[in-house]
Chain A
Amino acid sequence: MTRIVKYVLRDILRSRIVLAYTGFLLAASFGLFHLGGEISKGLVGLLSLVLIVVPLVCLVFGTIHFYNSYEFIELLAAQPVKRRSILIGEFLGVAGALTAAMIVGIAPPVVLYAASTTGFTLLAVGLALTVLFTAIAFLGAVATRDKARGVGLALLVWFYFALLHDGLMLLVMFFFEDYPLEKPAMAMIALNPIDLGRVIVLLQMDVSAMMGYTGALMKDLLGSTLGISAGVAALLLWAALPVFASNWIFRRKDL
């Protein structure tokens, strides 16, 4: 497995898309810290950027990479190697390369301008989202044979988590505002990794009351430490489940 990871990493780290992604993150995060004037404004800007861009890039890149490697994966599967090693090797390679891009793109400005708990929490959330959305991308690609359908599915997943889910949540809140909604709201947040990431960072910022219903609720209900631990646990689950599921499918799949 590690042998596969090594060569997948070596391959992807040379791809122009990953280089461009790294450059974009670096430029955008430096730019946001400069433009905002205040550090906290820069952080909020960077948070929004990370929450939108990272899932999109990981979903689309992960999916396309899987389909483009199909013939190569087939060749690997014909070698004396376990299916599991191939899938996990490919996954760790892609997730590793995108993680490296994230660290190179976000860490230097955060260390320079916002070397605080909030800054590092933001970085950690970015890394967690990178891994878990790559895992979701792999699950989609393993489960769908057709490339166009797979990429479409990836975009749909992104659209849902980045936009639709919050809209649905607001709708629920609006229609049931006469009822106690704290617990259902918590559950709905946990069902969206992007929301989870947002809440975890905002809880660090002490501006959660300004940042909408979800953040305020979370802080109010759980208090910071417990809220963050629960959020982290949910994020881990979001990464682990797709990896297990795609492994399960891949082991039985006809290539």
Chain B
Amino acid sequence: MITARNLTKTFGRLKALDSVNVVLKGGRSIMLIGPNGSGKTTFIKCLLGLVIPDEGWLTLDGEDLLGDHTLRRRIGYMPQIGRFPDHLKVGQVIDMMREIRRGTFTRTDEDLIEAFDMAKISHKTTRTLSGGMRQKLSACLAFLFNPDVLVLDEPTAGLDPVAAEILKEKVRAERDRGKLVLLTSHILSDLEDITSEVLYLIEGRVQFHRPMAELAEEHGEQRLGPLIARIMKAAKP
């Protein structure tokens, strides 16, 4: 679904992405893992058109993602920090997104809006929302237009356990419908049960990109945290 070829981005002297080649297929939920500054965020931002790479290509089903802003209609994004215009109400923010994306989607998906009971807080201004409520709103907006690709940056951070479970269930459902879900998280255990593939980046390079099940079997470890620790230890001589 998404193909990156030689994707390179440097910030000053820092090589945030160093010729990344990767193919991400639909029907998977792919966890991006790597130490701080390994290029996870830069990779996501390239995908979303927020960062313009120096070199390389990014395609979505063969179409050039970098040159065509209309292709972003097929992507839903949940940022790490959701901040909306202070004085708008939750309902207005949702309406605004609908208006901005008008004509670019065929059907909306309001499962999360219902599951999170957003109607109850739709009259609140976004400024008064707690961090968790903002996350819920961000999640609703990411899934709202039924996109083929979902980019979720630290989706469960700040969510209460009930909301986190709802979101994870939704991710699982969308993945099984053939969508591509890209995830990042600092707390690996949070998302391990919905991860189907692991994409490991170090210093802007892809260290490995393998199915979770395969890794688990090879290292005899089901939990993602210890698994990654074991792999990192093995990699060092």
Binding site for B on A (CB under 8 A): 3-4, 6-8, 10-12, 14-15, 68-72, 74-83, 252, 254-255
Closest Cβ neighbor of B85 among chain A residues: A11
CB distance from A4 to the nearest CB of B (A): 7
CB-contact partner of B50 in A12, A78, A82, A252, under 8 A: A78
The residues of B with any CB-CB pair to A shorter than 8 Å are: 11, 45, 48-52, 69-73, 75, 77, 79, 81-88, 92, 96-97, 99-102, 104, 141, 151
- Are A71's CB and B85's CB within 8 A? no
Contact B81 A79 (CB under 8 A): no
Q: State whether B87 touches A12 (Cβ < 8 A).
A: yes
Would A7 and B88 count as touching, CB distance under 8 A?
A: yes
The docked-state distance in angstroms from the alpha carbon of A78 to that of B77 is 7
Q: Nearest Cβ in chain A — how far from B40, in angstroms?
A: 15
In the bound complex, residues from chain A placing their C-beta under 8 Å from that of B92 are: 7, 10
Q: Is the CB of A69 within 8 A of B79?
A: no
6 shortest A-B CB distances, which residue pairs? A11-B85, A71-B83, A14-B87, A78-B48, A80-B73, A78-B77
Additional 12 contacts, C-beta under 8 A, given A68-B83, A255-B51: A3-B99, A3-B100, A7-B88, A7-B99, A10-B88, A71-B79, A71-B82, A74-B50, A79-B101, A81-B100, A254-B45, A254-B51
Shortest Cβ distance from residue A59 to the other chain B in the assembled complex, whole angstroms = 20
Once the chains bind, are B82 and A15 in contact (CB under 8 Å)? no
Q: Are A80 and B86 in contact (CB under 8 A)?
A: no
Please tell me if the beta carbons of A252 and B104 are within 8 angstroms of each other in the complex. Answer: no
Q: Which residue of B lies closest to A8 (CB)?
A: B85
What's the minimum C-beta distance from A77 to chain B, rounded to whole angstroms?
5
A10, A15, A78: the one contacting B75 at CB < 8 Å is A78
Q: Are B100 and A254 in contact (CB under 8 A)?
A: no
Write the nearest CB–CB distance from B45 to chain A, whole angstroms.
Answer: 7
Closest to B88 in A: A11
Q: Which residue of B lies closest to A75 (CB)?
A: B79
- The A interface, classified by DSSP as helix, strand, loop or mixed, is helix
Q: Does the CB pair B79–A7 fall under 8 Å?
A: no
Determine the distance from Cα of A230 to Cα of B139 in the docked complex, in whole angstroms. 53
Contact of A15 among B50, B84, B86 (CB under 8 A): B86
Give the complex CA separation of A75 and B87 in angstroms.
Answer: 17
Q: List 12 contacting pairs A-B, 8 Å CB cutoff, sorted by A.
A: A3-B100, A7-B92, A10-B88, A11-B88, A77-B48, A77-B49, A79-B100, A80-B71, A80-B104, A252-B52, A254-B50, A255-B45
Q: Which residues of A contact B51 (CB under 8 A)?
A: 254-255
Contact between chains at A79 and B50 (CB < 8 Å): no
Q: Are B79 and A3 in contact (CB under 8 A)?
A: no
B85 & A7 in contact (Cβ 8 Å cutoff) = yes
A81 proximity list for chain B (CB < 8 A): 69, 72, 100
A142 to B83, CA, bound (A): 18
Interfacial chain B residues near A69, Cβ < 8 Å: 83, 85
Q: Would you call B83 and A7 a contact (CB within 8 A)? A: no
Q: Chain B nearest CB: distance from A76 CB in Å?
A: 7
Contact of A74 with B100 in the complex, beta carbons under 8 Å: no
Within 8 Å by CB of A79, from B45, B72, B82, B88, lies B72
- A82 CB to closest chain B CB (Å) equals 6
Q: Give CA–CA (A75, B84) in the complex, Å.
A: 9
Cross-chain contact A82 with B85 (CB below 8 angstroms): no
Min C-beta distance of B84 to chain A, whole Å:
6
CB distance from A114 to the nearest CB of B (A): 34
**Residue in A closest to B95 when the chains form the complex, CB atoms:** A7
